[in-house]
């Protein structure tokens, strides 16, 4: 697992945050994130081997640094304020889970990503990169209205 603070330049990080909070950015509702846990909003940037969003170019600074050989899935999650956790899970985009998962934190809040032996705080412009086989779960925030992350699943 690798954790990087200030992953991209501040200007680009602020742009991602501003665009994703604008009234022009499309968010879609789902009643459960994992199994029967809390509802959330999502935006799918990339799926089924193709770009799925007019806002895909917003991710260029992150993708340039990740340097994936193949993209599998990219999705943003927006969680509303509530004292809840998601279920333990792996991001299963390949049968053998031999790919990487990266979670980019769009904004700072008191939510976090929990691993069996580590807790990663939600801090703006931080990214955690790990093997997709690592079980993890989200802890939703209670100090801010929203928690936004972008999940990247890819091959290196």
Strand positions, DSSP E, 85-145: 100-105, 112-115, 118-121, 126-131, 136-139
Alpha-carbon Rg of the chain, whole angstroms? 14
Q: How far apart are CA 55 and CA 43, in angstroms?
A: 10
Query: What is the mean pLDDT of the segment spanning 65-76?
Result: 97
What pLDDT does residue 81 have? 86
- Work out the average pLDDT over 22-42: 83
The pTM assigned to this predicted structure is 0.91
Three-state DSSP at 8 gives coil
Architecture of domain 2-155: Sandwich (2.60)
**pLDDT of the residue at 140:** 87
Q: Where are the domains of the chain?
A: 2-155
What is the per-residue pLDDT for 139? 87
Looking at the chain, the whole-number percentage of residues with pLDDT higher than 90 is 73
Residue 110: per-residue pLDDT: 95
pLDDT reported for residue 98: 79
- Percent of the chain residues past pLDDT 70, beyond the cut: 88
- List, for residues 111-121, the tens digit of each pLDDT value: 999 999 999 99
d(CA 63, CA 60): 5
Burial 56-86 (b: 16+ CB within 10 A, else e): eebbebbbeebebeebbbbbbbbbebeebbb
Task: Quickly state the pLDDT bin for 34 (edges 50, 70, 90).
Answer: low
């Amino acid at each position: 697992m690798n954790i990087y603070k200030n992953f991209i330049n501040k200007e680009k990080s602020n742009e991602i945050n501003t665009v994703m909070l604008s009234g022009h950015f499309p968010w879609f509702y789902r009643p459960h994130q994992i199994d029967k846990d809390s509802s959330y909003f999502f935006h799918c940037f990339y799926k089924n081997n193709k770009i799925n969003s007019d806002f895909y170019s917003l991710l260029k600074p992150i993708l340039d640094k990740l340097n994936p050989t193949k993209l599998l899935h990219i999705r943003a999650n927006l969680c509303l304020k509530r004292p809840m956790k998601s279920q333990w899970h792996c991001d299963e985009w390949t049968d053998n889970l031999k790919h990487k998962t990266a979670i980019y934190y769009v904004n700072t809040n008191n939510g976090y990503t929990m691993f069996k032996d580590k807790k990663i705080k939600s801090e703006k412009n931080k990214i955690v990169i790990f093997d997709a086989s690592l079980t993890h779960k989200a802890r939703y925030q209670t100090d801010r209205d929203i928690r936004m992350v972008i999940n990247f699943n890819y091959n290196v």
